[in-house]
Amino acid sequence: MDKIFKLIKKEELRQKQTLMMIPSENYAWPEVRRAVGSILMHKYAEGQPGRRYYQGNQFVDEIEFLCQERALQAFKLSPKKWSANVQPHSGCPANLAVYHAMLEPGQKIMSMFLPDGGHLSHGWHTKDKKITLVSKIWRVEFYKVDSKTRVFDYRQLEKQAKKFRPKILVSGGTAYPGEINHKRMASIAKKAGAWYLADISHEAGLVIGGANKTPFPFADFVTFTTHKTLRGPRGAVIISRKEYEEKINASVFPGLQGGPHLHSIAGIAIALAKAKTKSFKNYARQVVKNAKLLAKLLKVGGLDVVSDSTQKHLILIDLQSRGTNGWVAANALEAVGIITNRNTVPNETASAFYPSGLRLGTPAITVRGMKEKEIKGIAAWILSVIAHVRDEKLPADVKTRAIFIKSFKDRIAKDKFLLKTKRQVKALTSKFPAPF
């Protein structure tokens, strides 16, 4: 057996025996994995279905047309008013395609501040450095959450937008626990003379499932990845108003990328069909129920839950008041089989690599069938693990930090309390098998 397949087998076992609680990760449907691993990966199909630059596209054209149709149907949109491009390889190029289609170099974008929950693809930069390609091409200004409530003040956002006058106003991100008021954002964009782009990469499945509010009909463009709450493969979709269809299509190809990944498009089409079922709607609502309960229990347990709760699938914890940070907590939780990720928080005082926050979510554990009873146990484990390592301090000095990191990882691998918790987590995962 090739070493690659041995490593895949090890990863399969890791996924089965741990709790996948990074909110951007999920289990794809078995049918999705079958489509993505199919012979469709052999085919080139540059261009749009029905207008390709290669021969032999009779059947893949039908697949892509069907995927476009299902994308619009999932959000109950008319093909006379809206258009779906299902070719972007991921979320970053999907957003880039919208900017590329609608803006000239140097024009303005206004988006959410990254440490407050925004995303790199929305033009992240610092005062001293243009970090992303988007920030190097366009002028990007960020809006922030209120420093006290850590949620949006739309009145302040509107004042900023009217002053800055962006051409595109972007909403969405990776670590904002609240729902976006899309109607208000669209109104702000209109008053500022901007188009409104709603990035619902995290919430797409929740929106289709009826657990979160829809950005339609308010947005001009909606982008989303397909592997998070939607349970599809890695990929992305751009839905735009019909009048922008040609610009968006030309921006994706030939503007930014070559041939589409037809195997992924087939997987997206399957996920979109699944998302319209009653069972998926029940799943989407349970994801939010689980997240809200988990946030409540963590708050009662003494953790600082950003915005006090969540309205969707993810929770952000600020660990500054506990005297520890996200790196320490995430590694200790991984040692017991609870997989989360360290993350920046509003009013962040630390670096992006060693931030003060912890981000976690409920999409994948809900797929496994876990509900309120299991959430209570998971919350207790999280609280006990964070309390167990509360005295571990990450040194500021680089050399001392390197020594600490090695020592810390060695210690948590042998820690009796953490090993006991790991056995308990493993026992839970055996009762709720992963869907593969």
Taking the C-alpha atoms of residue 312 and residue 309, their distance in angstroms, rounded to an integer, is: 9
Residues 242, 227: Cα–Cα separation, whole Å: 25
User: Is position 74 within any domain?
Assistant: yes
The answer to whether residues 45 and 260 touch, using CB atoms and an 8 Å cutoff, is yes
Q: What is the pLDDT of residue 323?
A: 84
Residues 270 and 282 occupy one common structural domain: no
Structural domain contains residue 31 = no
Q: Which of 250, 274, 298 is the last residue of a domain?
A: 274
Whether 182 maps to a domain, the answer reads yes
Residues 244 and 350 in one domain: no
Residues 269 and 400 placed together within one structural domain of the fold: no
Of 216, 233, 207, 215, whose CA–CA distance to 285 is shortest? 207
The rounded Cα 86 to chain-centroid distance in angstroms is 18
C-alpha 235: how far from its chain's center? 12
Q: Alpha-carbon distance 44 to 56, whole Å?
A: 9
Q: Do 284 and 259 have their domain in common?
A: no
Q: Please enumerate in sequence order all residues whose Cβ is within 8 A of that of 327, keeping only pairs 6 or more positions apart, or say none.
A: 342, 353, 354, 355, 394
The residue whose two tokens read 């997240």 is: 291
Q: Are residues 295 and 388 in the same domain?
A: yes
Q: Which two tokens stand for residue 393?
A: 């301090």
Cα separation, 351 vs 37, whole angstroms:
39
Sign (positive or negative) of CA dihedral 182, 187, 188, 194: positive
The runs of H, that is alpha helices, within 167-277 are 182-192, 204-208, 245-250, 262-274
First to last CA, the chain: 21
* Residue reference for tokens 């540059």: 46
Give the residue from 274, 307, 331 where a domain finishes: 274
Structure pTM? 0.96
pLDDT of residue 9: 97
CATH of the domain at 69: 3.40.640.10
Domain extent, residue 408, equals 7-26+278-431
* Rounded Cα gap, residues 192 and 263, in angstroms: 40
Where does a domain end: 221, 243, 274? 274
- What contacts 14, CB < 8 A, 6 or more positions away? none
Q: CA–CA distance from 92 to each of 122, 134, 246, 340 (Å)? A: 8, 10, 20, 22
Let me know whether 48 and 14 are in one domain.
no
Indicate whether 259 and 357 sit together in one domain.
Answer: no
Q: Say whether both 16 and 65 belong to one domain.
A: no
Torsion of CA 161, 164, 166, 170, to 10 degrees: -50
Q: Indicate if 205 and 335 belong to the same structural domain.
A: no
Number of domains in the chain: 2
Q: What is the rounded CA–CA span in Å between residue 375 and residue 301? A: 13
Nearest to 328 by CA among 390, 417, 401: 390
> Is 1 part of a structural domain of the chain?
no
Whether 423 maps to a domain, the answer reads yes
Catalytic residues: 44, 46, 199, 225, 228, 234
Give a yes or no: residue 2 inside a domain.
Answer: no
108 shares its domain with 13: no
3-state secondary structure of 178: coil
CATH number (domain holding residue 324): 3.90.1150.10
The enclosing H or E element of 326 equals helix 326-336
Residues lower than pLDDT 50 in the chain:
none
Residue 436 included in any domain: no
The pLDDT value given to residue 1 = 73
Beta bridge partners of 360: 315
159 found inside a domain: yes
Pair (227, 345) in one structural domain:
no
- One domain, residues 215 and 298: no
